[in-house]
Each structure stands twice: as structure tokens, then as C-alpha cells.
Amino acid sequence: MKAWFSPVPLSFGEQTEGIFLPQINAEGLSVIAKALKTSAKTLKEIPVTEIARKVEFVAKQWQKWDLPERKTALNLLPKLLPFSEPVCRQAIDNLMEQLTFSRLIVLLDEILGDHILLDNFSERASGIKRKAFGSNLAFLVLAGNIVGIGIWDIVFCLLCKTPVLVKPSTAEPVLASLFAQSFEKFAPELSKSVAVIPFEAERDDLIAVALEESDAVIAYGTDETVKAYKQRAGAKVRVIERGHKFSAAIVTAEFADDATAELLALDIARFDQRGCFSPQVCFLVSENKEEISEEFAKKVADAFKRLSKELPANLSEGEKVNVSHFRLTCQMMGAKVFASSDASWTVVLWGKEHRTWDTGQGTKDWEELAGWRKIFCQARAVHIVIAQTLDEVFEQLLPLGKFLQGVAVAANERTVESVAEILGQAGASRICPVGKLQVPPIEWSQDGKHLISELVHWCDLEPISLPSHDLAWVEIFCGDEFSGMQVRSELERLGIPYSLETDFDPIDPTRPVTVIRVPSQYAVEARKTIAKVEPNP
């Protein structure tokens, strides 16, 4: 397949397992960027409601099992990513099902106040009109760690009437390219404002062109990757950071049942600890109920067994070795490990008895060396940590607040509210039920702020009143200086504003004359005053 989409033709380049990348240089990318920016004029003329309808139509095509682009994606993605076909299928369905006309319009209304503000200036209660303008070109840099990164970002750019240049990961350039190609088929008017061009991260010449042409950058990747783009972007370029994040789960003892275990396992199995919503740790809040923690760990292990049939893991040989190392390290650190006979799944239980352990150089406190924070595995694995109180959970998570994306909770309403208040303040952008972490709603404010609100800038149009002809200044007196002084005195007595000039008599240039003007609305009254002034003999 052709793993790119461009408004201008590109030659075929490298090929791996039937996936062709484009040949691209700095000059070619500059031409593409300029073509996208030219398309902005047409895009901005399309009503936002029409854009939303076209997006919905494209998304509905993707929900059809026989769509060629969908079939190609589901065939190739498991070969490129460590996810099985069922995992990829679920991810694509979740992305597309939410792209409905009504939901997109309501989303715009919630964020902007009224979606019509993307089309026209609209008057506010203050009398000032306002309009939201998208960027002239957004540069979207994608990571390749999970299925579907960037799909919603492309849609949000189009809704904000912002052409978008997408740089997908060269490890997974497929889905974004196929999504853009489907726009060419089903919504050609919008496809002119999208380009998907994969190239290596080391191509500084291409990155320089993209940054120079763009006035907004959306960067996914490691913190180092995001920082590099931020440093290279111009001073007036908006950089929307999508760096490293992690998520967690909190389960209280009364909810540590089979149903919660199934839902927690589902949150982990969907992307096997590779996404920002993958719960790397589950805190089980249990006061002196050691048996509950082990029972719950076994329930999660049983749920993993069942999910292995529905959503099988897809690990490489190297990743299987990493899983073995992860399990051994956790055991050496004193944790109890429940695991499959192969590398499919792993549950690590950190109990109260593991709050201290001998490192060979003395006993270390659990608070100082929390095992779950010391070792991580990108596979179907989870740390279950026993906490006596909710405050103990907060002590563990608050120092990591700036990296905390989501928290899945299985607890009573009062506990949920406490979690939302404390961890929301710390940095979490989403609190949700266990089982829902990996399926965020399209309304979710990623990293605390929705992309739509970051893509637009506002312009206020204040009422502009031009001076009326009725407010013009008219001449009421032209004469000698003495009479002018009398007129001025009368005008001042009556409170009539005036302007004073000195000119020369055109008949006798040696004789100065005084010229007095007043606003037109005072002209009649001023002339009556002049009639009372005795002329200079």
C-alpha cells in the first residue's frame, strides 16, 4: 500500500512488506505545505456544519467491515504494532463510532460557546462581536505506540478550519494515511486540507520546513521528542505538547470483586501498557484485609486468562524476554507474581509485608523504594499495590502528578469525589470508571485542555461609530479681533464649545481676521449670540 497522502504527486520510495514510503525532500515538503495553506481559503468558506457532516460520513464508512481501507489497516497494523487484530479492530471502532454530526457540533458549542463562531462574527451580550479562527497550518507529529493516535486530531483540525500536515511514525504510517485517503474518496473538499507524509525523525531538513510553514505544532512522543520540537519552533508558533503520561487505578476493598477485576484487565489488555491511559498500577485500598488483596490479584489473573482468547497479546521474541526479566526482578524485590506459562500476562502484588526489604546494604523502606515505580513493562502486566488508606495512595501519586493522565476508580461516590478533587488538582485530566480508561470520550480534554480550544484564536470586533455629519464643525464668525473676543465671551458664558483660528482678509492681506467654529448642533444658538454682538466701529 501507499503509506502517505499528499495534495501533490510524490514518487514511491522505500518498501517494507508491501508498505511503500514516499520519496520526499525539503523542496517537495515546502510545496506540499504551501498547497495546504492555499487550501485554507476554501476550507474556511465551508460551513462548520457541513464539515461535521462530511466527517460523520467518512467515519460511517470506516465502520463497515468491507471498506477496503479498513481491511487494509486491520491486515497491516498487527504486523507493525504489538497488538492483535481484535485489539486493533476495537480501537478503530471506538475512534469512528464517536465521530457523529450531533456529537461534534455539541462539542464545538461546549468549547467555543457556539459552533457558528467558526463561520461568522457573532454578537455577544456586551455588544462586541467575536469569531474563532483556526491556524493557517498545523504540523501534527505522531508517535507509533498505540492504534489510532492522531485520527481525532485530524478531525479537530478540519473542524477548526485548519489545514494539517501529518508526520506519522515511520514504524506505523498506515492508519493516518488510509484515513486521509478515505477523505479523498468520500469528502474530496476536505482532503485538499490534509497531507500525511512519513519521514525519519532524523530528517532535520524536513522538520525545519514543516516548522517554518506552520503556526501550530501538535507533538506526540517522549518528553525529549516534544522538548526538541518546542525548542525548534518559532517564538510565535503554538506548540501543543503530548508527551509522556501514565495512568493508574484505585479500587476499594468493597469493590474488589470479579466484575471489577474483569474491567481492570480490559483496561490493561486493550493496549498492554503502551498508552498514556494504560493503568500501570492499581491501588487496592484495604484496611488490614490481606486476604482480599491476594484474592483480587488472582481474580485479575483469571480475567487475563479469559481475555487472552478474546484479545490475544502480540509480543515479539524480544518483548517476551523483557517480560521474563520483569517478573524475575519483581520477585527479587519481594513481590508476589501471578503469571501465565508464556509471556501473555503478569500480575504483580505488592503487599503490606513488602513495605521493607533487604537490599544487601541494609533494609529499605517501601515508601522510599516503591517497587511499582522502579520497574515497568510494556506488556500485559500490572502492579497491584495494597494501601491502608486513600491518603496513602495520594502520597504515592501526588509526586507524579504532572505525569498523571487518567485515574480509573471503583469506589463509592464520596471516595470518587475525593480522588477527583485531589488528583485533578495534582494534574490528572480524567477520572473515570474502571474499564473505561482506554476508551476516552471525544469530549475529553487531553492533558487538561481540549485541542479545539488550543487550535483557535479569537478576534473581537467592537462597534465602530463613524462621526455623523450632524457633528461637523461649522463657521459662525469671521471678523476683526475685537468682535471675535466678544463672540468668544458669549459662547463661553453659554457653555458652547468653539474652535478659534487666525486668518487674513483675502481682500486686504495685511488685515488679520478671527475665525470661530462651533459644532453644528450649536450653530443656531451661536448665530443668535453673534447677532447681539455690536460690530467694531
pLDDT tens digits, residue range 14-23? 888 889 999 9
Dihedral, 368, 403, 343, 324 alpha carbons, nearest 10: -40
Per the model's pLDDT, the better-predicted residue between 508 and 36 turns out to be 36
Task: Please name the CATH architecture into which domain 469-532 falls.
Answer: 2-Layer Sandwich (3.30)
218 SS3 class: strand
Edge-to-edge strands of the sheet including 138-141?
A: 194-196, 164-167, 138-141, 216-220, 238-242
Across the range 300-323, mean pLDDT stands at 93
Across the range 158-170, mean pLDDT stands at 97
Across the range 277-306, mean pLDDT stands at 90
CA 73 – CA 89 distance, rounded (Å):
9
| Domain coordinates in residue numbering, the chain | 29-244+452-461, 246-433, 469-532
Q: And the C-alpha cell for 487? A: 463672540
Across the range 96-114, mean pLDDT stands at 97
Is the pLDDT confidence value at 332 over 50? yes
Is the pLDDT confidence value at 446 over 50? yes
Minimum mean pLDDT among 79-93, 167-181, 398-412, 501-515: which range?
Answer: 501-515
> How would residue 152 be classed by pLDDT, with cut points 50, 70 and 90?
very high
Is the pLDDT confidence value at 39 over 90? yes
- Work out the number of other CB atoms within 10 angstroms of the CB of residue 366: 18
Residues 6+ positions from 533 with CB-CB distance below 8 Å: 483, 486, 487, 490
Please name the residue that has the C-alpha cell 492483535.
84
Is the pLDDT confidence value at 536 over 70? no
Is the pLDDT confidence value at 116 over 60? yes
Round the average pLDDT of the chain to a whole number and report it: 91
Across the range 111-119, mean pLDDT stands at 97
Is the pLDDT confidence value at 185 over 60? yes
Q: What is the CATH T-level fold of the domain 29-244+452-461, as seen in this structure?
A: Aldehyde Dehydrogenase; Chain A, domain 1 (3.40.605)
CA 230 – CA 419 distance, rounded (Å):
32
Q: What is the pLDDT of residues 451-500, one digit of tens each?
A: 999 999 999 999 886 656 556 888 888 888 888 888 888 899 888 998 88
Predicted local confidence at residue 337, as pLDDT: 95
The DSSP element (H or E) to which 131 belongs, if any, is strand 129-133
Q: And the C-alpha cell for 488? A: 468668544
Residue 313 carries which DSSP code? B
Predicted local confidence at residue 367, as pLDDT: 47
Share of the chain above pLDDT 90, in %: 74
Pairing of strands 246-252, 279-285: parallel
Predicted local confidence at residue 470, as pLDDT: 57
Share of the chain above pLDDT 70, in %: 94
Rg (CA), the chain: 34
CA 42 – CA 44 distance, rounded (Å):
5
Across the range 392-409, mean pLDDT stands at 94
Is the pLDDT confidence value at 166 over 80? yes
- For 246-433, CATH gives 3.40.309.10
CB 404 within 8 A of CB 397: yes
Predicted local confidence at residue 481, as pLDDT: 84
Is the pLDDT confidence value at 273 over 50? yes
Minimum mean pLDDT among 118-127, 242-251, 367-376, 496-505: which range?
Answer: 367-376
Predicted local confidence at residue 149, as pLDDT: 92
Q: And the C-alpha cell for 256? A: 474488589
Q: Among residues 494, 487, 492, which one has the least CA distance to residue 513?
A: 487
> How would residue 356 be classed by pLDDT, with cut points 50, 70 and 90?
very low
Predicted local confidence at residue 512, as pLDDT: 85
**What's the one-letter identity of residue 228?**
A
Is the pLDDT confidence value at 286 over 90? no
